[in-house]
């Protein structure tokens, strides 16, 4: 039994094979050429002889029709080793951002549950996020499913899934360490002071940038003190001079 807990569980009694999922290579993206409600109804019709594991609506609904331990009937010879997700829309549509989010979430779950790599599949013998047309005639020859606009969105969906799975590299900003309170009282203009000035301006303060020496004007210090109080600082942390707390809050980049 494998159900994706965030999907609405809407089991269908027919149109799938119990068991028979040999291994999972990935998730295949389809276009319904119809609505989510219409597809939900169609999969319960014995005439359909079709189903998929998951389905999305344009506004972000997510259904699960078939347990992933079972074989949905979505892409012919691809059914035994690929899971499937149908998407509301007509041929030629792009996915909505909400649909891309839902597919990314399901794909991140497939990654976690089956160890499928977070990548666009290179083909039917590859692994990852695939699409119906990549299977060619052995997958039913659905050359227009899900359409070129959606195929072009697959890398973005993979990127979203990577962020969800926590495997995307998070860029680490580099901030300058606190140079000590005395640095400001005695310091001349420096690259670090200029960088700090830019941050203060960005925070709505006047910048410490004038003069060759420590030229904190009274109005500068008032401006900084006001900003410090706005951060909830008090006492010597709100006296208009940069202290450790102010420095940590300003996040002055290294120079
Ligand atoms: Zn399809």
pLDDT at site 157: 98
pLDDT, residue 53, reads: 98
CA dihedral 60→103→93→35, nearest 10 degrees, is: -50
- What is the pTM for the complete model shown? 0.67
Homologous superfamily of domain range 8-165: Peptidoglycan recognition protein-like (3.40.80.10)
pLDDT digits (tens, 9 = 90+) for 231-246: 889 888 898 888 888 8
The residue ranges of the chain whose pLDDT is under 70 are 1, 168-173, 186-188, 207-216
What pLDDT sits at residue 195? Answer: 83
Specify the pLDDT at position 188: 61
24 contact partners, CB below 8 Å, separation of at least 6: 68, 81, 82, 83, 110, 114, 116
Q: CA-CA distances (angstroms) from residue 245 to 6, 7, 135, 186, 254?
A: 41, 45, 59, 19, 17
How far is ligand 1, taken at its centre, from the CA of residue 175, in Å?
49
d(CA 13, CA 174) in angstroms, rounded, equals: 56
145-153 long-range contacts, Cβ below 8 Å, gap at least 24? 145/30, 145/31, 145/33, 146/29, 146/30, 146/31, 146/87, 147/31, 147/91, 147/92, 147/93, 149/92, 149/93, 149/94, 150/29, 150/31, 150/87, 150/93, 150/94, 150/95, 153/94, 153/95, 153/100
- Every domain of the chain and the residues it spans: 8-165, 181-250
**CA of 140 relative to ligand 1 center, distance in Å:** 9
Q: State in Å: Cα 2 to ligand 1 middle.
A: 22
| Ligand 1: centre distance to CA 61 (Å) | 19
Tell me the per-residue pLDDT of 149-186, one tens digit each, with 9 for 90 and over: 999 999 999 999 999 998 766 556 688 888 888 887 76
Instruction: Tell me, in angstroms, the distance from the centre of ligand 1 to residue 30's CA.
Output: 4
Residue 208 CA, ligand 1 centroid: distance in Å: 62
What is the 147 CA–ligand 1 centroid distance (Å)? Answer: 9
Residue 100 Cα to ligand 1 midpoint, Å, equals: 16
**Quick one: tokens of 166?**
């926590």
CA of 73 to the centre of ligand 1 (A): 10
Place of tokens 């013998």: 125
The pLDDT assigned to 204 comes to 81
**What's the gap in Å between 150 CA and the centre of ligand 1?**
12
Residue 137 in tokens: 């005639």
Q: How far is the CA of 77 from the centre of ligand 1 (A)?
A: 13
Peptide bond into 146 cis (omega under 30): yes
The confidence score (pLDDT) of residue 210 equals 53
Question: How many whole angstroms from 76 Cα to the centroid of ligand 1?
Answer: 10
Q: Which helix (H) or strand (E) holds 150?
A: helix 148-151
Centre of ligand 1 from the C-alpha of residue 60, in Å: 19
């Amino acid at each position: 039994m494998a159900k994706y807990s965030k999907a609405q569980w809407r089991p269908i009694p027919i149109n799938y094979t119990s068991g028979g999922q040999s291994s999972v290579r990935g998730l295949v993206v389809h276009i319904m050429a119809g609505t989510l409600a219409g597809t939900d109804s169609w999969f319960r019709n014995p005439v359909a002889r079709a189903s998929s594991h998951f389905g999305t609506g344009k506004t972000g609904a997510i259904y699960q029709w078939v347990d992933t331990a079972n074989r949905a009937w979505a892409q012919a010879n691809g059914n035994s080793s690929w899971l499937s997700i149908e998407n509301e829309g007509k041929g030629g549509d792009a996915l909505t951002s909400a649909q891309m989010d839902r597919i990314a979430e399901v794909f991140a779950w497939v990654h976690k549950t089956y160890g499928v790599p977070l990548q666009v599949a290179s083909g039917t013998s590859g692994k990852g996020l695939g699409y119906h047309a990549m299977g060619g005639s052995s997958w039913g020859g659905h050359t227009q499913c899900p359409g070129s606009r959606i195929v072009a969105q697959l890398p973005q969906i993979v990127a979203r899934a990577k962020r969800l799975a926590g495997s995307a590299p998070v860029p680490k900003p580099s901030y300058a360490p606190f140079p000590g309170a005395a640095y400001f009282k005695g310091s001349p203009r420096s690259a670090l002071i200029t960088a700090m000035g830019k941050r203060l301006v960005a925070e709505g303060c006047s910048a410490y940038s004038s003069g060759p020496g420590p030229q904190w004007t009274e109005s500068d210090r008032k401006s900084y003190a006001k900003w410090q109080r706005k951060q909830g600082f008090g006492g010597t942390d709100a006296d208009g001079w940069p202290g450790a707390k102010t420095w940590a809050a300003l996040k002055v980049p290294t120079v």
